[in-house]
Every structure is written in structure tokens, then in C-alpha cells.
Amino acid sequence: MFRRETELAAPVVQWLRKRGWTVYQEVSAGFGLADIVAVKSEKVWVIECKLAVTFHLVGQARRWLPCAQEVSVAVPYEMLYRRGMRAAFECLGALGVGVVLVDNCSGGRPRVDVEKESKNTKYDPEISQRHLLSCLHERQQNYAPAGSAGQHWTPFKETVENLKAHVAAHPGCTMREAVSQIQHHYRKPEYAVRFLTGLFEDWIGKHRGRPCPLAGIQLVSKGRKGLVLEPVDA
């Protein structure tokens, strides 16, 4: 029996990749957070992985119907034998949502079967491009495992990682100097400087006690140079 959604999702990701799909995990897109987005040629498949079939899961899957040719839910194989599940699967099928069953085979190699194929009639290529495909990034392929909600990749996290790496290599630089040397997601460098500096001020003034978004970096006053960035452990 699977204890976590990440344990359930891992064999699904592996199964898809063996069949030639490019798999993105924990994708934050226009309609929410998708556990798995798989792409092969022009085909898109969204799979929501959950340990139980609930109305919440149905709602999660249903919202992706305009974005992908196939939309499915992946659930443990034992769901197949629970009272009412056949009817639940039929309801999912009526919506156009497929069902993928995952069996951990008593600790052996997990088995993945497509119990019911997705027959989605609500797919819209324009909506898919705008609200899903445009949000895909190569880092999502391995940044966080599917099912680990809240740990997903974002452009902001990428910017912070780049900033931390630069500060580690160039301690004592100003925010403006750092921003000019890193890749960031802000439209203009001045926006990046203003926002990232403001994060320090906001955290110190209002959110002391919570994890700082820029943990690992500190602003230090250095005389004429003003405020500079230093690694916390420097």
C-alpha cells in the first residue's frame, strides 16, 4: 500500500518516460498545480495522482480538460475493489477523464495499467498553449517529485538560486551588481533590484520568525559601498 502520493506518482513518471513521454512534475499553471504533465509530439497528457478517489480529485482532473488531449487520475490498484469505485470510474469516464491504476506489488516493482482511457472532448489548443504549455520549463522535469505539493519549481525560485550562487562566488557585491550578472525572471533589472531588496526589508519588518525567501544571504552595511550581499555562513 502506498503511504504518500509521491510513492504512487513515481512509477507513473517512470512508466511514461519508458514510453517516450517527456514528463514534467508539479507544474504550476493557469488552472492550478498539476502533478504530472506528459508531452509526446503534439500530444499532452495531464495526470493527477491521489491515494483515494474524492470529489476534490474529480474537480482537479476536470479543470485540465481544456488544456490536454488526455486527462487522467492515477490511484492505487486496490481502489478497483472498493465499494462504489466502479461507479466512480464510470462518472470520471463520462467527464472524459481516464483512470490509471498503480499496484506496488507487495513491495516489488510497481505495475501501472490504464484502466480507462481518457475520452476528452473539451480540449482547446489555444487554451492549452496559453494556460499550460507556456508554463512548462525543463527544470520541472526533476525539480520536485510529482505529488509533493508546495515544492514545485517557479521562476522566482530560479532567480533566488541564481542570486545565491552569485553571492557565494562574489561576496560583498551589491544587489545591483548581482542582478546585472544573473539570469532573472523580472522584466527589467531595476524591478529585480527593487523587489529583491524589498524582500529583505519586508521580512525584517513584518515577518521575523518565518523562513526568509532569501535565506542564505544577508544584507550587510559596508561603509561607502552601502548595503552589500554576503553569504550567511561567510
Is 35 within 8 Å of 9 (Cβ atoms)?
yes
- Spatial separation of the C-alpha atoms in residues 19 and 42, rounded to whole Å: 15
For residue 93, what are the contacts with CB-CB under 8 A and spacing of at least 6?
A: 99, 116, 119
Give me the pLDDT at residue 143, please.
94
Instruction: Provide the H-helix boundaries in the chain.
Output: 5-18, 55-62, 85-95, 125-131, 155-169, 175-181, 189-206
For residue 178, which amino acid is it? A
- Contact predicate 16/23, CB 8 Å: yes
Judge whether 151 and 6 are in contact, CB under 8 Å: no
| pLDDT of amino acid 107 | 58
Contact of 199 with 186, CB cutoff 8 Å: no
What is the distance between the alpha carbons of residues 9 and 148, in angstroms, rounded to a whole number?
A: 10
pLDDT tens-digit series, residues 137-154: 999 999 999 999 878 999
Going from the C-alpha of 188 to that of each of 13, 148, 179, 219, the distances in angstroms are: 37, 32, 10, 22
The residues spanned by each domain of the chain are 5-141, 155-231
User: In this predicted structure, what is the pLDDT of residue 234?
Assistant: 47
> What is the reported pLDDT for 190?
95
Strand partners, 38: 23, 45
- In tens digits, what is the pLDDT along the chain, a chain of 234 residues? 888 999 999 999 999 999 999 999 999 998 999 999 999 999 999 999 999 999 999 999 999 999 999 999 999 999 888 888 889 999 999 999 999 999 987 556 788 999 999 999 999 999 999 999 999 999 999 999 999 987 899 999 999 999 999 999 999 999 999 999 999 999 999 999 999 988 876 665 554 555 566 778 888 887 777 888 988 874
- pLDDT tens digits, one per residue of 103-126: 987 556 788 999 999 999 999 999
What single letter denotes the amino acid at residue 61? A
Q: Class assignment of domain 5-141?
A: alpha beta
